[in-house]
Amino acid sequence: MSPELLLIVLFGASYGALFHLYYGRRPRQLLAFLLASMVGFAIGQLIGEIAGLEFFTIGRLHPMEGSLGSGIFLFIAKWLKL
């Protein structure tokens, strides 16, 4: 597993777990929040990579763009009541 992919999974899982601690009520929501967070982080990472944004990077990882994508996807998941 590449370091970039490992960090995407770790950041996404931690954001999803923390979001569930604050907003979650059912165990099923934990899975939905984890998945939404990881997908959102990966899409944010991809957008940062394609756009060539270099505000703050850790190697090839774009944590700011990924965090923004993760947050957007988490609030969409909450809004959809997943």
Per-residue pLDDT averaged across 5-12, rounded? 92
- Residue type at position 34: L
Say which residues have a Cβ less than 8 Å from residue 5's Cβ, sequence separation at least 6.
none
Prediction pTM value: 0.90
The helix-helix angle for 3-23 and 27-51 (nearest 10°) equals: 140
CA distances from 19 to 1, 49, 53, 66 (A): 26, 25, 26, 15
Q: In this predicted model, what pLDDT tens digit does every residue of 35-63 receive, in sequence order?
A: 999 999 999 999 999 998 888 888 889 99
- Residue type at position 79: W
Q: What confidence score (pLDDT) does residue 57 get? A: 87
